[in-house]
Chains A and B, each alone.
Chain A
């Protein structure tokens, strides 16, 4: 029988100090691209080892090679340039991509495969392949080329599909396509769903979409039509109001839920009891074989220690619920 309440992570991890230093040196031209890659690989190994040590079930590689989830693809694909930084919240900024021409993979086909392969070789546990969805890449870019958002989203969907196929061909069993912008414009949900249909077309890997920090009540239950097998949603940041929303409708038989149970934008580490309460609340809506437990979002905004402590709480709380509910 499959393990109940499997634990996982959403995507990014904090970059260890050695990698932060290496990235700064690379920007100043003091180290080679190969030296930076070596530092990224070493950091990935730390991320994998941490998750294994904690007993996480489905791992992520931590995105050590990425600065920002959208800019990474824009930096490597054709048709994009970069703006100066734009603030996203607090003191966090990103270089917002500018679509200036027809988008294509160019020489970067299979962009994410190598990092996934390297991470997978470091563990016997499954590692998710991580992509950003076409709707979010469009929404978080300035478009100065395509006549409308639909044209750009659908063009990007073909590129993300190629990348997903490349991950699957490399052996990835879990492919996550993040769409945090999907709740932005309810009137465009159909477009986002159509685009995800292109991305996941013909895939046999298990497909996941992570969505966060939106007003889910504006797009739910229509969101359930997103053609992926698992929705990964943040709940802790909103004090589990999300679960109240999910409870208004029957949870579909063909969908899994990954539930965010720790707030990645807070220094405070949640207590085991808080997380247990959140899991139990979700168990009233989603059966345990289809419920996964993870943080609200990527952990890159936290310190390494905070990330470790928050994941430890997730593992401890989940195991406690498994035992208390006889789910082992």
Chain B
């Protein structure tokens, strides 16, 4: 089995250490300059990927430490996609700037590729870049220009494909498309729409590893859709939607599967032996390297001490599961 994180991570330390929160406060008060703020971001990214290394993860994000929210790098890289007013981020006490589509989308690029390059340089663990998928963008963006969802979706897919292309050569491990809007049923998309859009998106750079993460709702309707597509890994939130585990046991999917069994929104720590037993069952069915264990979503919704505990839990589960697998072998 393999382990990874799949999203944002707290930007503040559990005890002492560099803190984005403190640095921004000091920057706004004028007591530090742009260079010190920049160096703090770098240091916090380094701490995040170092934790992943210590936890023996097989892949990690950079914690999205520089990101205001999931849409932030896209709003920087795409013309006519601008951060709008604050809205609640699904059912969390977290708020994002909903993107405003103010004209025809044009890809300019630069920011995400640079951030990714920096993360890759600092990390001994392969770096995943998690971005909002086209249907989450379509569902949450405010369209002031196209007034025709199909035309907007088509351009979203094109600019996202250009974003993926801009990441070529950065050394990243994979691009992960986050589609909470599909799982949480905020999107009105039909299976055929999703299949068609993802064929175009994945096909534009078919040589680059791309995965999909569904969280905060039911993945079950989408499992057969993504199972037919060339995604490297399909990640599901088995905390919100434990029934999906039965579906994945019953219906073997061709791609790797990511089991979001570690609750990214609850401070209580899961029992490592229990999780190891579950992932071992899936490893027996899917093959050892095709099963991933990860939190149910990004860990930034937890306080930093509990988020770190959850990352370390992945290490404990992996050790137990590998022992179990060796024993079976």
Q: Which residue of A lies closest to B267 (CB)?
A: A142
Contact call A91/B21, Cβ cutoff below 8 A: yes
Say how far B235's CB is from chain A's closest CB, in angstroms: 23
Inside 8 A of B95's CB, which chain A residues have their CB? 88-89, 213
Contact call A263/B267, Cβ cutoff below 8 A: no
Contacting residue for A85 out of B21, B88, B91, B94, CB 8 A: B21
The complex places the Cα of A85 from the Cα of B24 at a distance, in Å, of: 15
One digit per residue, 1 when the CB lies within 8 angstroms of any chain A CB and 0 when it does not, for chain B 78-99 equals 0000000111100101111000
Say how far B26's CB is from chain A's closest CB, in angstroms: 11
Say how far B13's CB is from chain A's closest CB, in angstroms: 9
Is B251 an interface residue when CB atoms closer than 8 A count as contact?
no
Which of B11, B268, B303 has the most chain A CB atoms closer than 10 A to its own CB? Answer: B303
Contact-size category for B = 20 to 34
Is A140 an interface residue when CB atoms closer than 8 A count as contact?
yes
The complex places the Cα of A214 from the Cα of B94 at a distance, in Å, of: 11
Is A225 an interface residue when CB atoms closer than 8 A count as contact?
no
Inside 8 A of A238's CB, which chain B residues have their CB? 85, 87
Contact call A83/B306, Cβ cutoff below 8 A: yes
Total interface residues in chain A, CB < 8 Å:
29
Secondary structure of the A side of the interface? Answer: mixed
| B273-311 contacts to A (CB < 8 Å) | 300-306
Also in contact, A265 and B93, with CB within 8 A (given A83-B303, A96-B303): no
Is B137 an interface residue when CB atoms closer than 8 A count as contact?
no
Contact call B268/A144, Cβ cutoff below 8 A: yes
Q: Which residue of A lies closest to B266 (CB)?
A: A142
Inside 8 A of A93's CB, which chain B residues have their CB? 12, 21
Contacting residue for A183 out of B21, B88, B300, CB 8 A: B88
Say how far A240's CB is from chain B's closest CB, in angstroms: 11
Is A28 an interface residue when CB atoms closer than 8 A count as contact?
no
The complex places the Cα of A184 from the Cα of B184 at a distance, in Å, of: 12
Is B68 an interface residue when CB atoms closer than 8 A count as contact?
yes
Inside 8 A of A239's CB, which chain B residues have their CB? 85
Is B10 an interface residue when CB atoms closer than 8 A count as contact?
yes
Contact call A140/B93, Cβ cutoff below 8 A: yes
Also in contact, A88 and B303, with CB within 8 A (given A83-B267, A213-B88, A238-B85): no
Say how far A93's CB is from chain B's closest CB, in angstroms: 6
Say how far A136's CB is from chain B's closest CB, in angstroms: 9
One digit per residue, 1 when the CB lies within 8 angstroms of any chain A CB and 0 when it does not, for chain B 217-255 equals 000000000000000000000000000000000000000
Is A215 an interface residue when CB atoms closer than 8 A count as contact?
yes
Q: Which residue of B lies closest to A98 (CB)?
A: B267
The complex places the Cα of A215 from the Cα of B301 at a distance, in Å, of: 20
The complex places the Cα of A213 from the Cα of B92 at a distance, in Å, of: 11
The complex places the Cα of A83 from the Cα of B12 at a distance, in Å, of: 13
The complex places the Cα of A266 from the Cα of B267 at a distance, in Å, of: 32
Contacting residue for B305 out of A84, A181, A263, CB 8 A: A84
Which of B88, B93, B301 has the most chain A CB atoms closer than 10 A to its own CB? Answer: B93
Contact call B268/A84, Cβ cutoff below 8 A: no
Contacting residue for A89 out of B21, B86, B91, B268, CB 8 A: B86
Is A90 an interface residue when CB atoms closer than 8 A count as contact?
yes
Inside 8 A of A139's CB, which chain B residues have their CB? 93
One digit per residue, 1 when the CB lies within 8 angstroms of any chain B CB and 0 when it does not, for chain A 227-259 equals 000000000011100000000000000000000
Which of A91, A139, A144, A184 has the most chain B CB atoms closer than 10 A to its own CB? Answer: A91
Inside 8 A of B302's CB, which chain A residues have their CB? 86
Contact call B14/A84, Cβ cutoff below 8 A: yes
Contact call A213/B86, Cβ cutoff below 8 A: yes
Contact call B96/A91, Cβ cutoff below 8 A: no
Is B145 an interface residue when CB atoms closer than 8 A count as contact?
no
Contact call A90/B268, Cβ cutoff below 8 A: no
Say how far B36's CB is from chain A's closest CB, in angstroms: 16
One digit per residue, 1 when the CB lies within 8 angstroms of any chain A CB and 0 when it does not, for chain B 1-44 equals 00000000011101000001100110000000000000000000
Contact call A89/B85, Cβ cutoff below 8 A: no
Inside 8 A of A90's CB, which chain B residues have their CB? 68
One digit per residue, 1 when the CB lies within 8 angstroms of any chain B CB and 0 when it does not, for chain A 130-144 equals 000000000110101
Also in contact, A87 and B94, with CB within 8 A (given A142-B267, A265-B85): yes
Contact call B11/A89, Cβ cutoff below 8 A: no
The complex places the Cα of A238 from the Cα of B87 at a distance, in Å, of: 9
Q: Which residue of B lies closest to A214 (CB)?
A: B88
The complex places the Cα of A93 from the Cα of B10 at a distance, in Å, of: 11
The complex places the Cα of A278 from the Cα of B11 at a distance, in Å, of: 38
Q: Which residue of A lies closest to B97 (CB)?
A: A89
Contacts A89-B86, A89-B96 supplied; 6 other A-B pairs, CB < 8 Å: A83-B306, A84-B306, A91-B24, A91-B25, A215-B88, A266-B85
* Residue contacts A-B, CB under 8 angstroms, 6 given: A86-B301, A86-B303, A87-B12, A142-B266, A215-B88, A238-B87
CB within 8 Å of B: which residues of A? 83-91, 93, 96, 98, 139-140, 142, 144, 181, 183-185, 213-215, 237-239, 263, 265-266
Q: Which 9 residue pairs of A and B lie closest in terms of their CB atoms, listed nearest first?
A: A84-B303, A89-B95, A237-B85, A83-B303, A184-B91, A91-B24, A140-B93, A142-B267, A265-B86
